[in-house]
Structure 1
């Protein structure tokens, strides 16, 4: 997925109260649907400015934010400098559609409204699974299948028009995950139209 669109919006991203509220909704759903301890190693993939990670602070341990947008990563780095994110937080330049997953294991991986921007889902899911500790959880918040109007204003959008829940469940299982559960998470209102967002949770089996 190209980063230019997000580079342009990064500086003002957190000024949108709807984005902040949505991140909190996702964090609440993650905390309510999967078990993890206060020492859990968290990776937020496609983290943007790290809003979901911020909403999970105090419930997790070491945090890593990965994003392909230089603009978003710069904002996240500034948050670390300002104290809005922990001083030991890591910020990675990572696009699993085109890069091999780096070494490292995480107990919890969260991705919020990212995967519908991905053209080829399989390498991304397999990369995320490779970084999960056995017994760890992947949590994906994303759009339910829609008619293409959500990104109708983007002439360059070439991702998915949301996801069919059954199809995504099968993709998660094919990537090596088990215990897949998909439930309602939140709603995005765009130009007066509601778009539903689900949370998919899945576990990496213990070897």
Structure 2
């Protein structure tokens, strides 16, 4: 799926209080499940407008926000200028389905409602795990397996209809992570239907 939809909604994304609240809930779940150090280097992959990162800011160190949507990156850059994000925050144009992982290592990588849009899941996970420092943690918040109704209005959607938690845990282990735990995180309410969102947490071994 292309970036056109996200380019179109980027400017108004933060106007939805449910999106803001959900990002905060995801950040709180990350903090509850990961012993985050104040100096932790964070990558928010598929960051959108950076709401999850903004909620994490009081608890972490330097942040990098990556998104393939020019519209979303424009909002991120404006937040850096306006002070909504730190002046030293890095904004990357990155799509790991099409690009190799850039140099740089992180202690924590967060992906919030991103992976169900990813077609080449194994490729993206390989890139993300490769950017973790040994001992670093990958956190994926995403939809439980659903019947396809979540994106029924999107003619161009070609991703996943959520994930089976056990299958995803196995995929994360195959990608090189250990101590994988999947737990309840939050929900998305859409057109009267409530869709559960999980948080999957996995750690890159200290020694590969």
Q: What TM-score bracket applies, with the shorter chain setting the length?
A: over 0.9
Aligned length: 207
Match of 1:149 in 2: 149
> Quick one: distance in 2 between partners of 1:98 and 1:165?
26
> Quick one: distance in 1 between partners of 2:78 and 2:141?
25
Match of 2:45 in 1: 45
1:72 has 2:72 as partner: yes
> Quick one: distance in 2 between partners of 1:54 and 1:48?
11
1:140 has 2:140 as partner: yes
* TM-fit CA distance, 1:121: 0.2
> Quick one: distance in 2 between partners of 1:24 and 1:58?
12
Superposition pairs of residues 53-68 of structure 1, within 5 angstroms: 53-68=53-68
SS at match of 1:11: coil
Any gaps of 5 or more consecutive residues in structure 2? none
* TM-fit CA distance, 1:157: 0.3
Superposition pairs of residues 1-207 of structure 1, within 5 angstroms: 1-207=1-207
> Quick one: distance in 2 between partners of 1:2 and 1:28?
30
* TM-fit CA distance, 1:34: 0.8
* TM-fit CA distance, 1:36: 1.5
* TM-fit CA distance, 1:120: 1.3
Any gaps of 5 or more consecutive residues in structure 1? none
Moved over 3 A (4+): none
Backbone CA RMSD of aligned residues: 0.5
* TM-fit CA distance, 1:7: 0.3
